[in-house]
């Protein structure tokens, strides 16, 4: 796969293999982990623009970062152009030079509120949102799907609208909203959008291996790829895609545990790292028994002890 630097407006990113925003997972420690394994750009969990407006502490917690992480994008969602611009200008987003607008989330609650993938059905509003957010001075990117359902694919036209509104890069998930995260990726739709715009296009969907990434790049002509669920099972997938040296699973897990503990309380660390260990243990002999023990663990030390049994 051709790994190369990429520019998002005035921001230089060292490579074109990105980590997708994953609700409940792409916190500071996980992003930093993936970055250490070669991810060119990582994105925060999806953050509510209204939550930022009203000072939600939970929303602010999702946006923790520091200089050790390097350049990172914050992803926001909403449907009110002015509130979206205010979110971009919010102090909590000050450390993030890039703001990604979610126009692809298929979750029913988000969709019914006219946010996420619902904006695919309202391209004029989508344009207004991007134009307002651009006024903040942030480099604005947009992540969207190829349509709501297969009978109405909007990729090429929507891509042109986002470019025209001022987006500096677009990421296209090559599935419709109704497919959620299943089914084949539509390479032709992503390719059509790539051929229709001048800004960089990142292809998203179905990248679990080097072969997957190479095929997605080849079939779409995209400028890069975005990895989502594969990173949950193996953060070192970025090593495979970018040629970065790998580490043992235990070293990886200990690193993630340390970074999580440094920024989160013990309860969150325990619950979160139990979930991550359950992902990483998949395919290991005795995985079911290990998962049972992991989910009974009551402290980070107990989890680490089990991890050393599994991977030591």
User: Strand, helix or coil at 50?
Assistant: helix
CATH of the domain at 304: 1.10.1200
Q: Are residues 234 and 253 in the same domain?
A: no
pLDDT at 57 over 90: no
Same structural domain, 77 and 96: yes
Map tokens 């669920």 to a residue: 229
C-alpha–C-alpha distance, residues 219 and 170, integer Å = 17
Are 142 and 254 part of one and the same domain? no
pLDDT (0 to 100) of residue 299: 97
103, containing H or E segment: strand 98-103
Token digits for 52?
A: 């930022």
Question: What average pLDDT score do residues 230-246 get?
Answer: 97
Q: Is residue 277 domain-resident?
A: yes
For residue 226, what pLDDT band results from cuts at 50, 70 and 90?
very high
Looking at residue 197, its pLDDT comes to: 98
- Flag whether 46 is in a domain: yes
Chain mean pLDDT for the chain:
96
Measured CA to CA, the distance from residue 193 to residue 52 in angstroms comes to 32
Q: Which residue is listed with tokens 């070669």?
A: 38
Q: Read off the pTM.
A: 0.95
When pLDDT is averaged across residues 120-145 and rounded to a whole number, the result is: 98
Q: If pLDDT is split at 50, 70 and 90, which confidence band does 172 have? A: very high
- Report the distance separating Cα 204 and Cα 145, nearest Å: 9
Burial code of 79-92, b = ≥16 C-beta within 10 A, e = fewer? Answer: bbbebbbbbbbbeb
From 57-61, 82-86, 287-291, the region with the lowest mean pLDDT: 57-61
* Gap between the Cα atoms of 177 and 102, Å rounded: 13
The answer to whether residue 170 sits within a structural domain is: yes
CB 65 within 8 A of CB 9: no
Question: Is 296's pLDDT higher than 90?
Answer: yes
Whether 138 maps to a domain, the answer reads: yes
Give 67-118 pLDDT, tens digit per residue.
999 999 999 999 999 999 999 999 999 999 999 999 999 999 999 999 999 9
User: Residues 202-228, buried b or exposed e (16+ Cβ, 10 A)?
Assistant: bbbbbbbeeebbebbbebbebbbbbbb
pLDDT at residue 55 above 90? Answer: no
| Residues identified as active-site | 105
Q: d(Cα 241, Cα 234) in Å, to the nearest integer?
A: 12
Cα separation, 139 vs 260, in Å, equals 28
C-beta neighbour count of 267 within 10 angstroms: 10
Q: Are residues 200 and 253 in the same domain?
A: no
275: buried, middle or exposed (CB in 10 Å: 19+, 13-18, 0-12)?
Answer: middle
For position 59, what pLDDT does the model report?
83
What is the total count of domains within the chain? Answer: 2
**Residue 56: its pLDDT value, please?**
81
pLDDT of residue 186: 97
Q: Are residues 221 and 102 in the same domain?
A: yes
pLDDT at residue 1, rounded to an integer? 86
> Is pLDDT above 90 for 312?
no
Say whether pLDDT at 199 is over 90.
yes
Q: What integer pLDDT is reported at residue 183 of this predicted model?
A: 85
- Asked if 17 and 143 sit in the same domain, the reply is yes
Task: Domain of residue 267: give its range.
Answer: 249-311
Give CA separation, 63 vs 10, 74, 234, 259, 271, in Å.
22, 7, 23, 15, 19
What integer is the mean pLDDT of 18-35?
97
| Residue 289, C-beta contacts closer than 8 angstroms, at least 6 positions apart | none
> What pLDDT sits at residue 204?
97
The backbone torsions φ and ψ at residue 113, rounded to the nearest 5 degrees and listed phi first, read: -85, 0
Is the predicted pLDDT of residue 162 greater than 90, yes or no? yes
Q: Where are the alpha helices (DSSP H) in 28-94?
A: 28-36, 49-53, 57-61, 81-89
What is the model's pLDDT at position 196? 98
């Amino acid at each position: 796969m051709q790994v190369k630097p990429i520019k998002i407006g005035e921001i230089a990113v060292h490579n074109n293999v990105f980590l997708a925003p994953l609700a409940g997972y792409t916190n500071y420690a996980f992003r930093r982990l993936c970055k250490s394994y070669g991810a060119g750009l990582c994105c925060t969990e999806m953050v509510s623009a209204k939550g930022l407006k009203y000072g939600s502490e939970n929303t602010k917690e999702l946006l923790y970062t520091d200089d050790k992480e390097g350049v990172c994008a914050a992803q926001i969602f909403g449907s009110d152009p002015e509130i979206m611009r205010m979110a971009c200008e919010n102090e909590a987003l000050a450390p993030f030079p890039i703001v990604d607008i979610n126009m692809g989330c298929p979750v029913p609650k988000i969709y019914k509120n006219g946010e996420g993938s619902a904006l695919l059905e309202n391209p004029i509003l989508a344009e207004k949102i991007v134009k307002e957010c651009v006024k903040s001075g942030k480099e604005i990117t947009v992540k969207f799907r190829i349509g709501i359902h297969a009978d109405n694919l909007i990729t090429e036209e929507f891509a042109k609208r986002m470019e025209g509104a001022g987006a500096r890069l677009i990421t296209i998930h090559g599935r419709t909203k109704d497919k959620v995260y299943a089914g084949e990726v539509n390479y032709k739709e992503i390719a059509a959008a790539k051929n229709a715009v001048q800004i960089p296009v990142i292809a998203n969907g179905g990248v679990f291996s080097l072969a997957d990434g190479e095929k997605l790049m080849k079939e779409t002509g995209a400028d890069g790829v975005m990895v989502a669920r594969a990173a949950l099972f193996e953060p070192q997938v970025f090593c495979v895609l970018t040629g970065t040296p790998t580490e043992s699973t235990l070293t990886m897990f200990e690193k993630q545990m340390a970074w999580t503990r440094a920024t989160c309380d013990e309860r969150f660390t325990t619950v979160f790292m139990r979930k991550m260990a359950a992902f990483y243990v998949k395919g290991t002999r005795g995985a079911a028994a290990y998962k049972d023990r992991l989910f009974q663990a009551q402290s980070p030390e107990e989890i680490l002890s089990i991890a050393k049994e599994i991977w030591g």
